Amino acid sequence: MSEQTASALGANPYLPEGVYIPDGEVHVFGDRAYVLGSRDRFGGALFCMEDYEVWSAPVDDLTSWSSHGVAYRKEQDPYNDGSHPNLAKGAEDGIHYLYAPDFCQGPDGRFYLYYCLDTVSRVGVAVADQPGGPYEFVDHVRDPAGLIVGERPGDLVQFDPAVLVDDGRVYLYTGNGAVNRVHRRFGYANNHSMVMELAADMVTVIDGPHRLLPDITESRGTGFEGHELFEASSIRRIGDTYYLVYSDVHMHNLVYATATAPMGPFTFRGVLVSNGDFGIGSRRSLLGGVMPFGNNHGCVERIGGRWYVFSHRHTDGRQAARQAWAEPIDLHPDGTFGHVRLSSSGLRDAPLPGVGRYSARIACRLTGWWGGATYSMLRHRFQPYLTQEEGPRQYVDNLRRGASVGFRSFTDLGGTLTVTYRGTARGHLNITTDEGDLLARIQVTPSSAWTTSAPQPITHPGGEVELLFTYRGRGRLALADFELGGAPE
């Protein structure tokens, strides 16, 4: 099995190497699932530096994602003509970047895209004949008098729009910030979660904005304590219940609240996923993530009869190089979702085959010598991280003494194991189960070029297993891939 074939098994991250799409909103239209999110630039200094791009896959084959190309360019927003300075450090030519979007099929059958530009408190609207685009600018969300919502005196800051078309009515959810505050640099004020209803033109507000979820000054006694909205609203109707997914004040969590009406009131229900796996087992400390963690944004969507939670992970030791991630999730009869662990198998919804060649990019655990990971912006010295080279080819770098890379999970392991590595390392990799059972040991020596180790026997009694590669030795090790072979001759 080639690496390309292995990644096509539905493994995380589910989009191809070199694709950096965070903040994903996934919707099913017809017989395809479409994902639209922000678009990071590998090595970029800021979030969301690229134009929007839509990907889709057949609902009965979530291993086969294809790009529809650029769906919307940041310069299509008429505000973004370079005459309004972008105050973000590292911005190019004063142009504002396209932050997290959402899209929907309007009552007229056309497809509508809602977005905000960075540091700009207004919601743009664009339209297309197909969900994959291309989209054309329509207008900014306005009140009946034609004033732009978000720029009127006393307005709440517009950020991270989510849109719901419900029985022919259209609802828009926006907001950020855990507390109402003034941002001295960007001029943000009146930060809060909010909801509004739009007219059939998909632009004009006919009700609202109304404050929605409590901020940290209002949450005592509400059930939202410790889970107030940070950003990343996403909305779904499931049966007669409305589910508002968002990133809470911990940033790495995606959580959800429910209501019996689209404008609430909403009740906090729980955590869906953390991109550091916090809340799983005993992981609580900020030094205890299983992956370098940071902000999060995503959704839940039912595809082919199965529910999935979509989120993103962080790479390259920085916040602004994020990739789409997905996990199957259970919706229980009482209307609650489970809290899921990160996996390598992702959309496959089953363990990966125990024979084949796998890129290290499918790692779901990257921990330092202390057994945990920290914020994704803490690069090099402290923890391993995912990065890429020309090709593009992603790999794990900066494995130092005691650091580990984990892959969850495999079934029916073959009889041999090889790894492809490089670096200044001199020592060995211990390959164990997550329970600590030693399966193999591979010697590594310094090499400036990618080197494949000799096959080593690997023994396991069978069944499902999580593989953990822990480096013991001196120097720095990079891991490109590993191959699980058949029974040794």
> Which of 326, 342, 331 has its CA nearest to residue 274?
342
What are the angstrom distances between the C-alpha of 294 and each of 304, 352, 419, 461? 30, 27, 29, 37
Cis peptide leading into residue 153 (ω within 30°): no
DSSP alpha helix (H) spans, 282-423: none
- Starting at the edge strand found earlier in the chain, the sheet holding 25-29 runs 25-29, 32-36, 52-58, 66-72
Check 3, 23, 25, 118 and give the catalytic one.
Answer: 23
**For residues 261 and 207, is the Cβ–Cβ distance under 8 A?**
no
Quote helix, strand, coil % in the chain, to nearest 5.
5, 45, 55
Q: Report the alpha-carbon angle 100-102-106, nearest 5.
A: 160
Answer yes or no: 231 catalytic.
yes
Tokens of 178: 């855990």
Phi/psi at 480 (nearest 5 deg)?
-95, -45
Q: Whole-angstrom Cα distance, residue 469 to residue 463?
A: 19
CA pair distance 416, 78, nearest whole angstrom: 59
Q: Is 305 left (phi over 0), alpha (psi -120 to 50) or beta?
A: left
**Does the CA dihedral 171-73-315-309 come out positive or negative?**
positive
CB-CB contact of 428 with 444 (8 Å): yes
Give the containing element (helix H, strand E) for 4: helix 3-7
Residue whose C-alpha is closest to residue 186's, from 176, 194, 198: 176
- Candidates 231, 277, 327, 466; catalytic one: 231
Report the SS3 class of residue 347. helix
d(CA 338, CA 345): 18
d(CA 399, CA 396) in angstroms, rounded, equals 8
Residue 482 near residue 453 (C-beta atoms within 8 A): no
Per the structure block, which two tokens stand in for 314?
């962080």
User: Which of 198, 307, 190 has the alpha carbon at shortest distance from 245?
Assistant: 307
**Would residue 93 show up in a list of annotated catalytic residues for this protein?**
no
Residues classed as catalytic:
23, 231
